[in-house]
Amino acid sequence: MVLNRNSKQDLEDFKSYILVEKNFSEHTAKAYYSDILSYLIWLDEEACEGVNFTKVREYLHFMQKFNYKKTTVARKIASIRTFYKYLHRERKVENNPAENLISPKRPKSLPKFLTPHEIEQILSNINIDTPAGYRNRAILELLWASGMRVSELSGLNFGNLNLENNEITVFGKGAKERIILITDRAKTYLQGYIDYARSMIAKGYNLGPITDTTPVFINKTGFRLQTRMIRNVINDITEKLELPKKVTPHMFRHSFATHLIENGADLRVVQELLGHASISNTQIYTHISMQHMKEVYEETHPRA
């Protein structure tokens, strides 16, 4: 199959749009790109700009033969809808043919989280005797203390730091700016990393002067530490501990929110700290707390 030349260019422009303007994470942008590429391959030489609702719905019927999970189908529909929304914004199509597509209902599942004991177990098993180890401890301390996304942490520059007030400015989804708070312990590790470990991580490389746009977390060659490497760091640490859970960077975010609410934090405050556009996204953590309370009650109450 051959991609239509104009469609191929639309795809590349769309990729730049979701990465730069929409500020999608690399992981999400890669998934959306792959979804649209599959769709364009199915269209073959037909231009995506001339497609109507009936044609898009034909593609959904075609996808059924692959028995995708509902979550995967929902994401693919979201990808196509976003793609055509972009084309409409660029005035390449008169309307969005995917706008009225109905996504399958996603099964409701509660996010997995770590207990404070499990988090302390992970943190205490990081070897901080090496520059990279100290950096990794600072990273995980920040994730646990702030609830920031791993993409937000990777994107931190020195201009985002206000350590005197225990504040960090991050740019979340849609390039929305918010201020997050960090604990004194997280600040101590972050300051130690900046003062001592950071320059030794890229030993032999000229890092140049630190400016507001200089990345905070770097790899061994002095470039910005990417989200994939942060995931690898967490995998390496947790696999040695043989925890019963598959630990991801996002679990630190879930754990942060869950434990704040369990300890009486106002839902609106947690919403602001997480950068959720809607409080309905934050309310899921009250469900996690209730589930956890029931488990503790059943385990500890003599009549339960």
Q: Which residues are catalytic?
A: 149, 173, 250, 253, 276, 285
- Tally of residues, the chain: 304
Please name which of 226, 144, 241, 258 lies closest in space to residue 190, comparing C-alpha atoms: 144
Number of helices followed by number of strands (H, E) in the chain: 14, 3
Residue 60 phi, psi (nearest 5): -65, -40
d(CA 246, CA 225): 22
- Going by C-alpha positions, the residue among 129, 128, 130 that lies closest to residue 140 is 128
Q: Are 215 and 224 in contact (CB under 8 A)?
A: yes
Are 77 and 103 in contact by the 8 Å Cβ rule? The answer is: yes
CA distance to 42, 77, 177, 201, per residue, from 225 (Å): 36, 31, 21, 11
Both structure tokens of 130: 């090496």
Phi, psi of 196 (to 5 degrees): -125, -50
Where do we find the tokens 């400015």?
169
Look at strands 161-162 and 167-171 and give their pairing: antiparallel
Beta bridge partners of 169: 179
**DSSP E strands, the chain:** 161-162, 167-171, 177-181
